Chain A
């Protein structure tokens, strides 16, 4: 009778087990998404851009060579012939139209931009998620009142969505007066309907999934199902959207500042305001417009790249 050599049998059995047993602990979906993110070049480029931006915004203002609002080189400006000192050793990006150091203003502006972007996105995320979450939960719990509440909230959100975003922002600014807070609130409100609809839709589709039915059949109470199953599984698209919204928030904030609805405090530079100021000197010193515009674009691009890469990493359809 043939006996099977121990070594070969071990090999077969090990191979058979390999399928489910690469390492000791399981890999959760988030970990798996992060692994995929790390393999995506777009995500890495986006992350590097954002890393630099964060570094500049946080550390930069402490290291700037000159104060942002000091008109140190006012005397050198020849406004009648449109001459501003260009890039040189003491002013890397040159001097702006009233004699301030452009480089320092750009750096301090980064912090403003980051602040406006994050705060306004957070406003949109918080209010939108609250509305969408309540509507989604109400729709999921069902019943006459649940459906009515869902209907009321969503019609309100539809109204917000129906208005052109910039127009909405301008009217809010008109109501509250111009200023940094206004910009943040206006940009935040504009993104509310996006988050609300996204979270509600995501929650409703999750609520119809089999694992929610499975939890119901286990006897778990509806509110608990909503909190432990529906909401966590609905968050991925919202997080992706928040990253993408950061990009549009920065652009919209810049646009509002450009229109003069932003901060009036000249001592706090902001890329949108700088862009607005520079447009009168486009001929004489195009860099004054190009540099802040470029900064806005690159930052927005960084957020967009990262957001799209996250969408890809978290999309269950792309999972094998």
Chain B
């Protein structure tokens, strides 16, 4: 039984006079106790909205609808009333945000903000709470914690603020920590410090961590399982190594091809995904990624692709997935013996012209010519 089981989560914003926005469109994933799970995707893929929906932190507004389930330890977080949700939040499930300055109260000293959490959830008061707060700050690597307790957020640097925020979230030894782009606002060397800190916390306390980020490098170093999101749905789920070594969904392949590698040779070009994140197909009309996809086939439009379950707990939502590297592509040998069972006959044939296209980049996907040899 997973610690957190998110099932078909959907979030829609309906605005007067405008089209309904499906920010999250049926996201499912699970987090086991002590596991680090990554949610990866570009802006607008619904990764942040997913976390806010799970935490019940979406701003209440008319037209907002949250559907599906998010079962944490047997209770559906989405069905809770505000009061019991507040009890769980901070005690069992805690969250770290991207911008530490706006998530800390600017007019209250750091110490008071940490002790507040301790008082609310652990009933600690006075000197005991103060001592525990100082210990927490010490644990997250803030030097001279006793003095820092009296300071205000603006007196700390960005990295120290993020540390303080992490101290607050782990104050009650939560079983699940959700980190929404925790290092995006920070410099690389500070990011490395914070990531190392999060890794240590997870390893030492057995807390499960959901890491939400756009940075593939961050998940590669941290996560056990990775969910790639596109257009509000999970398009690929895999363990860390298989995902990076043999990405199956063309979007994952494209993301990996878009990132320059430090050890790449000179003169190598990146392989970007054409088009922009705006070029979405609505899921009911087919695969949302189809307009930008280099491996698009006939069947991609019309029906939404089902999630294909492969071995080793991995799954992808694609009719024409990228071949597993190492296996011989069927068109190279003329046969199709060595392919993955998921790559069935017609799709394998269509993959050849698609691969030829994949270098064309432009704001609008180039139409595929019929005449192409």
- Taking Cβ atoms with an 8 Å cutoff, the residues of A that contact B are 1-6, 8-9, 11-13, 15-17, 19-20, 39
**Inter-subunit contact A8/B367 (CB<8 Å):** no
Interface flag for B9 (CB, 8 Å) = no
27 of the cross-chain contacts (CB-CB < 8 Å) are A1-B349, A1-B352, A2-B297, A2-B346, A2-B349, A2-B350, A5-B298, A6-B370, A8-B301, A9-B367, A12-B290, A12-B291, A13-B291, A13-B365, A15-B279, A15-B281, A15-B291, A16-B279, A16-B291, A16-B292, A16-B365, A19-B276, A19-B278, A19-B279, A20-B364, A39-B16, A39-B17
B147: Cβ under 8 A from any A Cβ: no
Q: How close is A280's CB to chain B, nearest CB, in angstroms? A: 50
Number of chain B residues close to chain A: CB under 8 A: 28
Distance (Å) between the CB of A317 and the closest chain B CB? Answer: 15
Residues of A within 8 A of B285 (CB): 15
Evaluate contact between B302 and A4: CB separation under 8 angstroms. Answer: no
B353 cross-chain contacts in A, Cβ below 8 A = 1
Q: How many Å lie between the Cα of A9 and that of B302 in the bound state? A: 11
A39: nearest chain-B partner, CB-CB: B17
Q: Smallest distance from the beta carbon of B368 to chain A beta carbons, Å?
A: 7
Q: Which residues of chain B are within 8 angstroms of A11 by Cβ–Cβ distance? A: 301
A147 CA to B344 CA, complexed, in Å: 74
Contacts of B34 in A (CB 8 A): none
Q: Is B158 an interface residue (CB 8 A)?
A: no
A15 to chain B, nearest CB (A): 6
Residues B40-83 near A (CB distance < 8 A): none
Q: Which chain A residues lie closer than 8 Å to B302 at the CB level?
A: 8
With A16-B275, A20-B278 already in contact, 12 other A-B pairs whose C-beta atoms are closer than 8 Å: A1-B349, A1-B353, A2-B346, A3-B370, A4-B297, A9-B368, A11-B301, A12-B290, A12-B291, A12-B300, A12-B301, A16-B364
* B296: interface (CB < 8 Å): yes
A2 to B17, CA, bound (A): 42
Mark contacts of B297-326 with chain A using CB atoms, 8 A cut-off: 1 yes-contact digit, 0 otherwise.
Answer: 110111000000000000000000000000
**A17 shortest CB reach to chain B, Å:** 5
- Nearest CB in chain A to that of B276: its residue: A19
A10 nearest CB neighbor, chain B only: B367
Distance between B250 CB and nearest chain A CB, rounded to angstroms:
14
Chain A min CB distance to B59 (Å):
15
> What is the CA–CA distance of A15 and B285 in the complex, to the nearest angstrom?
11
Give the 5 A-B residue pairs with the shortest CB-CB distance, closest first.
A16-B291, A19-B278, A16-B279, A2-B350, A13-B367
* Inter-subunit contact A8/B298 (CB<8 Å): yes
Of all chain B residues, the one with the shortest Cβ separation from A41 is B16
Cα-based distance from A4 to B353 in the complex (angstroms): 11
- Using Cβ atoms and an 8 Å threshold, which residues of chain B touch A1? 349-350, 352-353
- Interchain CB contact under 8 A, A4 and B279: no
Between A3, A6, A16, A39, the greatest number of chain B beta carbons within 10 A of the residue's beta carbon is seen for A16
**Distance in angstroms between the alpha carbons of A16 and B352 in the assembled complex:** 23
Q: Which residues of B contact A17 (CB under 8 A)?
A: 364
Min CB distance A35 to B, Å, is: 10
Q: Given A16-B364, A39-B17, does the pair A2, B292 have CB atoms closer than 8 Å?
A: no
| B370 partner residues in chain A, CB cutoff 8 A | 3, 6
Q: How far is the CA of A269 from the CA of B325 in the complex (A)?
A: 90
Contacts of B298 in A (CB 8 A): 2, 4-5, 8
Cα–Cα, bound, A16→B350 (Å): 21
Q: Which residues of A contact B352 (CB under 8 A)?
A: 1
Residues in B with CB closer than 8 Å to A2 are: 297-298, 346, 349-350
Chain B positions within 8 Å of A15 at CB level = 279, 281, 285, 291
In Å, the complex CA distance between A39 and B17 comes to: 8
With A and B bound together, what is the CA distance between A12 and B280 in angstroms? 10
Q: Which residue of B lies closest to A16 (CB)?
A: B291
Considering the chains assembled together, what is the distance between the CA atoms of A121 and B203 in angstroms?
Answer: 67
A4-B297, A4-B298 are known contacts. Are A12 and B346 too (CB-CB below 8 A)?
no
Write out the residue numbers on chain A whose beta carbons fall within 8 Å of the beta carbon of B368: 4, 9
Residues of B within 8 A of A39 (CB): 16-17
B42: shortest Cβ distance to chain A, in Å? 15
A3 surroundings in chain B (CB, below 8 A): 370
Residue of A nearest to B302 (CB): A8
Closest Cβ neighbor of A14 among chain B residues? B291
Closest to B18 in A: A39
What is the minimal beta-carbon distance from B105 to any residue of chain A, in angstroms? 22
B239 to chain A, nearest CB (A): 32
Minimum CB–CB distance for B23 against chain A, Å = 13
- Complex formed: what's the CA distance from A6 to B371 in Å? 13
Least Cβ–Cβ distance between A26 and chain B, in angstroms: 15
**Which residues of A have CB within 8 Å of B364?**
16-17, 20
Interface string of B263-306 (1 = CB under 8 A from A): 00000000000011011010001000011100011101110000
